[in-house]
C-alpha cells in the first residue's frame, strides 16, 4: 500500500472514530502533498511524500523552538502533538553506524579522498539516504570521514 493510500485510509478511520486531532493533521499532510503535486504537475511517489513529511516535521520543530523562546508553551505543545502524528508516516531514521557504513561504501565507489570531493560524495549519498537519515548528520559525518 502506498503512503498516500495509507493516509487516506487513516483519515477515513479518524473520521469514523472521531479522532479530530489526527484527522486535522492528516488533512494538513494531504493538503501539503496535493499542493506539491499541483505546483510541480506530477504524481508524488512514496519517496517524495516522505520528503514532504520531513519538511513538515522540520517546520514544526522550528516553530516549537520559537514558541519556547517566546514562553508560549501552549502553542509549542500543539506543534509537538502534530509532530507525533506526522512521524507515524515517516520511516525510522538510520543510526549513526548505518550512515557511516553507507559513507565508507560511497567513498570506495567514488574514490573521494579529501574535502574537495565532498560534493561528489554527498551527491552519491543523497539519493540513497534521503528520507532515511538526517542529512545534516550525514554531512557532518562525511566531513569527518574526509578530514580523517
Q: What is the DSSP letter of 94?
A: P
Between the CA of residue 88 and those of 11, 17, 52, 73, 141, what are the distances in Å?
Answer: 13, 17, 14, 23, 27
Residues 85-132 have pLDDT tens digits of 999 998 888 888 888 888 889 888 888 787 888 888 888 888 888 778
Residues 19-78 have pLDDT tens digits of 999 999 999 999 999 999 999 999 998 888 988 998 999 999 999 999 999 999 999 999
Whole-prediction pTM: 0.74
Amino acid at each position: 500500500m502506498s503512503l498516500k493510500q495509507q493516509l487516506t485510509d487513516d483519515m477515513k478511520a479518524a473520521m469514523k472514530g472521531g479522532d479530530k486531532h489526527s484527522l486535522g493533521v492528516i488533512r494538513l499532510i494531504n493538503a501539503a502533498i496535493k499542493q506539491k503535486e499541483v505546483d510541480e504537475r506530477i504524481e508524488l511517489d512514496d519517496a517524495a511524500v516522505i520528503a514532504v513529511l520531513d519538511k513538515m516535521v522540520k517546520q514544526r520543530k522550528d516553530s516549537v523552538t520559537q514558541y519556547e523562546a517566546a514562553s508560549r508553551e501552549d502553542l509549542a505543545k500543539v506543534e509537538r502533538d502534530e509532530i507525533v502524528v506526522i512521524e507515524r508516516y515517516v520511516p525510522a531514521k538510520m543510526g549513526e553506524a548505518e550512515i557511516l557504513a553507507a559513507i565508507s561504501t560511497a567513498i570506495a565507489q567514488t574514490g573521494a579522498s579529501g574535502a574537495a570531493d565532498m560534493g561528489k560524495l554527498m551527491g552519491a549519498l543523497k539519493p540513497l539516504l534521503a528520507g532515511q537519515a538526517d542529512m545534516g548528520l550525514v554531512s557532518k559525518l562525511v566531513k569527518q570521514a574526509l578530514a580523517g
